[in-house]
Structure 1
Amino acid sequence: MAEIYIPVYEQYTLTIKEAACYFRIGENKLRRLAEENPDAPWLIRNGNRIQIKRRQFEKVIDTLDVI
């Protein structure tokens, strides 16, 4: 079965690595944000794997001047 490619800008959730590239934020900074905000609405945990809800995190980024 062929693998389906979905562009990052259309994905509902992003891995830490994908989000770091998309938002131009370091992977360590994103991991720290996830650890400091475990109940954030933009965060999903699947076991020990972190997923970031792209659109909700975009809204958070839009409200910030410094991250």
Structure 2
Amino acid sequence: MRYEIPIWKKSNLTYEEAAVYTGIGINKLREIAADEDCEFVLCIGSRKLLKRRKLDEYIDGMYSI
């Protein structure tokens, strides 16, 4: 059984989902997330997910990206 959960209800997003959710390109998200001090990246093995709430906070605090 597979569940379809709306993006705005997910706690963690893939880069593709985050790009649709924020309107920021995948490559730019990868560039931002590559920083070691990035607080919204969650590493699960070699897979990286983006913490939606922390990503929202990051974007709210930025003037330009």
Taking only aligned residues, the RMSD between alpha carbons, in angstroms, comes to: 1.0
1:30-55 deviation digits (Å, cap 9, x = unpaired): 111111x2232211112222100000
Please list every run of at least 4 consecutive aligned residues from structure 1 whose deviation after the TM superposition is greater than 2 angstroms.
none
Q: Match of 2:3, SS?
A: coil
Q: Give the equivalent residue in structure 2 for 1:58.
A: 56
Count of residue pairs the alignment pairs up: 65
CA distance in 2, matches of 1:46, 1:39: 17
- Show structure 1 runs of 5+ residues with no match: none
TM-score by length of 1: 0.88
Match of 1:33 in 2: 32
Q: Find the aligned partners of 2:32 and 2:5 in 1 and give their Cα distance.
A: 26
Percent same amino acid among aligned pairs? 37
AA partner of residue 64 (structure 1): M
TM-score, normalised via structure 2 length: 0.91
Partner residue in 1 for 2:11: 12
Distance 2:18 2:58 in 1: 13
Unaligned runs of 5+ in 2: none
